[in-house]
Amino acid sequence: NMAAVITVDGPSGSGKGTICQLLARELDWHLLDSGALYRLTALAARHHGVELDDVEALEVLAAHLDVRFKPRKDGETQIILEGEEVTHAIRNERVGEDASVIAALAPVRSALLSRQRDFAGEPGLVADGRDMGTVVFPEAELKIYLDASAEERAQRRYKQLISKDPGASLDDILNDIKARDARDMNRAVAPLKPAPDAVRLDTTSMTIDEVLQSVLDEARHRG
Ligand code: C5P
């Protein structure tokens, strides 16, 4: 597939998700939220009573994920798993934890590979994940790696959560983020790391709009 691709990788809380949505909307390109595929596999495992160490069953689930992404007029994408709406259910912290556990399994990752590449298409694709620039789209014309300090990422998550959950604890969130980072960066297959040719942005003291403008500038540079 020769369509243009911009990859955006980085740890959780780096602002990738928001930036990719805004970027895809601005360019009117397709969007791949690859983390959603790992989250959907984790949720499917729970629904089917599959244990997180049953590699063969997880591989089958990942290869046959019955999922539909339905863009809505308000810009949000509705996610339907086996006929059930799971748009919000997959954002749950437990599901994110489970996703990061099964994401360390090579057979699960390869089962999801062609499905991710199928998102590429005219006029272009914005691909959000951990290994978009290193493994899934190594030929992408623009690769971005977003980072921010763990403390800043914990603050951002805390601000999102506190309105819904007054009991949220900044310390707990920081510990979760550090544990997730360690698992994503230290796994043997497709660990989180910048591609050698990635443009690296530290977003710790940047606003979302500043990050978006920097990425758009890079994209325009490459024409
Ligand atoms: O980005 P998000 O938090 O939705 O991803 C959930 C988990 O899925 C991550 O913690 C990571 O372990 C895994 N993941 C991955 N490769 C990707 C996207 C997500 O391993 N390309």
Ligand 1 atom showing the smallest separation from residue 17 Cα: 1
Residues in the chain: 223
Examine the pLDDT at 2 and tell me if it is beyond 70.
no
Pocket test for ligand 1, best of 14, 16, 34, 109 (most atoms within 8 A of CB): 34
Q: How confident is the model at residue 223 (pLDDT cuts 50, 70, 90)?
A: low
Coil vs helix vs strand at 160: helix
Question: What is the reported pLDDT for 75?
Answer: 73
Question: What is the reported pLDDT for 71?
Answer: 82
CB 147 within 8 A of CB 203: yes
Nearest to 102 by CA among 184, 24, 26: 184
The answer to whether the Cα torsion of 93, 71, 14, 129 is positive or negative is positive
Question: What is the reported pLDDT for 103?
Answer: 96
- Region 96-125: mean pLDDT is 96
Examine the pLDDT at 1 and tell me if it is beyond 70.
no
- Region 99-119: mean pLDDT is 96
According to DSSP, the residues that pair with 9 across neighbouring strands are 129, 145
Examine the pLDDT at 158 and tell me if it is beyond 70.
yes
The CA-atom distances, in angstroms, between 58 and each of 14, 108, 117, 129, 139 are 28, 7, 20, 20, 29
Cβ of residue 9 lying under 6 Å from some atom of ligand 1: no
Cβ of residue 143 lying under 6 Å from some atom of ligand 1: no
Q: How far is the CA of 129 from the centre of ligand 1 (A)?
A: 6
Q: What is the pTM of this model?
A: 0.94
- Region 60-84: mean pLDDT is 92
Find out whether 17 is annotated in a ligand binding site: yes
Asked if the ipTM is above 0.90, the reply is: yes
Examine the pLDDT at 133 and tell me if it is beyond 70.
yes
The percentage of residues in the chain with a pLDDT greater than 70, rounded to a whole number, is: 99
Q: How far is the CA of 33 from the centre of ligand 1 (A)?
A: 9
- pLDDT averaged over the chain? 94
Examine the pLDDT at 126 and tell me if it is beyond 90.
yes
Coil vs helix vs strand at 124: strand
Alpha-helical (H) ranges within 80-144 are 93-102, 106-117
Q: CA-based angle 68:212:133, to the nearest 5?
A: 60
- Region 87-96: mean pLDDT is 92
- What's the rounded Cα separation, in Å, for the pair 10 and 155? 17
